[in-house]
Amino acid sequence: VVAVAQTNMADAEALMQLKKSFTNSSSLSSWLITNTDGDKSPCAPGSHEWHGVVCSRGKVTGLRLNGLRLGGTVDVGALVGFHNLRSVSFAGNNFSGPLPAVDRLTSIKSMFFSDNQFTGVLPDDFFSKLSHLKKLWLDHNELSGAIPASIAQATSLLELHLAHNAFSGELPPLPPPALKVFDISWNDLEGVVPEAFRKFDAGRFGGNQYLCYVPTSDRPCKRVQAAAASSSKRSPMAFVTLLVSVVVVALVLCLCCNRSSRVHDFDPAHRGGDGLDERPPVYMVKQFSTTGKRSASWLGKRTRSSLRGHRRAASAAKADELGGGAGDLVIVNNGKGVFGLTDLMKAAAEVIGSGGHGSAYKAVMANGVAVVVKRARDMNRATKDAFEAEMKRLGAMSHANLLPPLAYHYRRDEKLLVYEYIPKGSLLYVLHGDRGMDYAGLDWPTRLKVAVGVARGTAFLHGELAGHEVPHGNLKSANILLAPDFEPLLVDFGYSGLINHMQSPNSMIARRAPECAAGHPVGAKADVYCLGIVLLELLTGKFPSLYLQNAKGGTDLVMWATSAIADGYERDLFDKAITSAWKFALPDMARLMRVAVDCVETDADKRPDMKVAAARVEEVVAAAMATVRERHQAAGGESSRSSSHAQYVRDGSMQRITSVGERSSRRGSNDYSS
């Protein structure tokens, strides 16, 4: 008895020792040895709950300490005495420094260290003692060096996630014999993927500049080869170009530094904020006014001179036909009337952001109409005729969840695209931005409304633009604008045939789907992947790392959701902002997450097509809204609100609507959230 009591106390003390190695451990305030605990183990019946400590049959079997903002180190010495410990999760914290010597935990089965800042190399014999290990997640850290050849000795290993680190060198010749999932994407590996590794999905090797899944003649598979090739091509002229580029970049950096003080005011990543996960910059309208108002310098020098060349054009008032417009601005949708470049030149303008295609400006014209003008640099893939035909086609699109372009201006080296200005801004901004009133409006029923609207809009595009390589191509929360009633409006769609991907390889989010990272061409299923990411974003409230180009930050939502579903703890992932008030909806959230996870399947062939994905979202949303309605009715309140939303969910949202103002007034009471 004394021995058991000592062991129990040893468990409590070992956990306290572990806690001591953490900094910022306020989330573990329940970890304490109280007088009333006596000799109880943290797992003994009647013992107080120790947050994150998982027990089975009175023994500590797991530690689930993910996402607690813990820092410092992990004292592995404190854990070696837990002989029944099978799973530890320290993912999504702020641990840094070398990875602790977790290979001492020889009976462990799952370890999750993703999304920290661990550095250093893995020792050569790292895997040799981990014969029981089944899952190891080390992705999204700063680990470097070679992948130890001892992985072949991890005989039980089923999943190994090493993505988004700085591992270098070549892959070892053999993977562990039982390995089913292997992800090494976004590292610095080189060489040719050994035959024995080619049974794994090609997408999981993407993002390694010199790693060739299969060798090809047009791509170096070794860093030295690449360096030699580029130096042999370098000419004196290239050197001059390089020098000029450096000077230009330095100048641009200076300008950016000047501007960044303003940008930071609106950048949650630079604010103390609520200390949630690191949230990368979210630029949005309503933030900073820049260029000299009414100077029209924002339109670009060439556009202004092009306008002077076209002054022969009639005044805006006279250009009353679609396809016309004053000063070479071609109106493709007259939802906001007819206007011309001259009207834009006189407009008060402010920068609202800079995306993959170029800068975006808000311009308020003299008649009070506010538009967004986007200057697109790299839309020169199609001929002028093809470009114009495409813009007319996009402008004529009519769906309650699409924001078609209103007008364009064509020049060979730059295009202007004009859209109606949507004051509430994007889902990205509302969800991850300043967390103001609109964020509070993003409750569970509203998120359902956004989810179903996005699915409907994208499915509509997949019908209308079925011939496109990827019908939307740029589906992400920055391109989902929110109407006053939170109806989602997709923007920046249908550009895949217009953008020169050589000049602008990263401007379409669809090209970051795993199959494209592996070198396959973009296809319609990449939109399905992006839809899955948006659904995960709505469910978790987290900023997806997919939206960042190679940068650190955000959350690998695919990894999180997939592993959470596999391990049955998806409920831990849902945004607290929705789970706290809508606890009864947890099963519906889990259903929507399953749809999302099917959409983000790495193998594009295994993803549903857009029609099926959208139908599944419709189905889950209808059921979830029915649950909400029942709850409201049971609580005796707000039944009228919920039934109007049910009506919304039934309505196919396919009316021809030309402007957002019209949308809101037409829909009127047929809405849940407003």
CA 584, CA 305: separation in Å to the nearest integer? 61
The answer to whether residues 168 and 145 touch, using CB atoms and an 8 Å cutoff, is yes
Q: Which DSSP string corresponds to 338-382?
A: ---HHHHHHSEEEEEEE-SS-EEEEEE-TTS-EEEEEEESS--SS
For the chain, the first-to-last Cα distance in angstroms comes to 64
Query: Is 653 one of the binding residues for ligand ATP (CB under 6 A)?
Result: no
**For the chain, counts of helices (H) and of strands (E):** 17, 23
Closest CA to 444 of 269, 187, 309, 629: 629
The answer to whether residues 588 and 596 touch, using CB atoms and an 8 Å cutoff, is no
CA 351, CA 483: separation in Å to the nearest integer? 20
Query: Is 353 one of the binding residues for ligand ATP (CB under 6 A)?
Result: yes
Query: Is 347 one of the binding residues for ligand ATP (CB under 6 A)?
Result: no
Residue 328 has which token pair? 């070479």
Our CA angle for 386, 390, 395, nearest 5°, is 150
Contact pick of 179, 192, 331, 352 for ligand ATP (by CB under 6 A) = 352
Contact pick of 150, 208, 507, 555 for ligand ATP (by CB under 6 A) = 507
Contact pick of 135, 357, 629, 632 for ligand ATP (by CB under 6 A) = 357
62 or 356: whose CB is closer to ligand ATP?
Answer: 356
Residue 635 has which token pair? 């609580």
Query: Is 372 one of the binding residues for ligand ATP (CB under 6 A)?
Result: yes
Smallest separation (angstroms) from ligand ATP to the CB of 523: 19
Query: Is 421 one of the binding residues for ligand ATP (CB under 6 A)?
Result: yes
Span from 177-185, 192-200, 413-421, 618-626 in contact with ligand ATP (CB under 6 A): 413-421
DSSP character at residue 50: -
Tell me how long the chain is.
674
Contact pick of 53, 88, 491, 498 for ligand ATP (by CB under 6 A) = 491
208 or 426: whose CB is closer to ligand ATP?
Answer: 426
Which residue, judged by CB position, is nearest to ligand ATP in the bound state?
355
Q: Give SS3 for 404.
A: coil
Query: Is 186 one of the binding residues for ligand ATP (CB under 6 A)?
Result: no
Contact pick of 71, 72, 355, 441 for ligand ATP (by CB under 6 A) = 355
Query: Is 422 one of the binding residues for ligand ATP (CB under 6 A)?
Result: yes
Smallest separation (angstroms) from ligand ATP to the CB of 508: 7
Hey, which residues does 350 pair with through a beta bridge? 362
Our CA angle for 444, 448, 450, nearest 5°, is 115
Q: Is the dihedral of CA 441, 443, 449, 453 positive or negative?
A: positive
Contact pick of 285, 365, 620, 624 for ligand ATP (by CB under 6 A) = 285
Query: Is 363 one of the binding residues for ligand ATP (CB under 6 A)?
Result: no
Query: Is 481 one of the binding residues for ligand ATP (CB under 6 A)?
Result: yes
372 or 452: whose CB is closer to ligand ATP?
Answer: 372
Query: Is 425 one of the binding residues for ligand ATP (CB under 6 A)?
Result: yes
CA 496, CA 594: separation in Å to the nearest integer? 29
Contact pattern from residue 298 through residue 337 relative to ligand ATP, giving x for each residue in contact according to CB under 6 A and a dash for the rest: ----------------------------------------
353 or 514: whose CB is closer to ligand ATP?
Answer: 353
138 or 349: whose CB is closer to ligand ATP?
Answer: 349
Q: How many residues bind ligand ATP (CB under 6 A)?
A: 26
Q: Which DSSP string corresponds to 435-489?
A: --HHHHH--HHHHHHHHHHHHHHHHHHHHHTTTSSSSS---SGGGEEE-TT--EE
Smallest separation (angstroms) from ligand ATP to the CB of 354: 6
Span from 136-144, 151-159, 209-217, 349-357 in contact with ligand ATP (CB under 6 A): 349-357
CA 308, CA 520: separation in Å to the nearest integer? 45
Query: Is 193 one of the binding residues for ligand ATP (CB under 6 A)?
Result: no
Binding residues for ligand ATP restricted to 441-480, rule: CB under 6 A: 474, 478-479
Smallest separation (angstroms) from ligand ATP to the CB of 613: 21
CA 153, CA 131: separation in Å to the nearest integer? 7
- Chain residues binding ligand ATP by CB under 6 A are 283-285, 352-357, 360, 372, 374, 419-422, 425-426, 429, 474, 478-479, 481, 491-492, 507
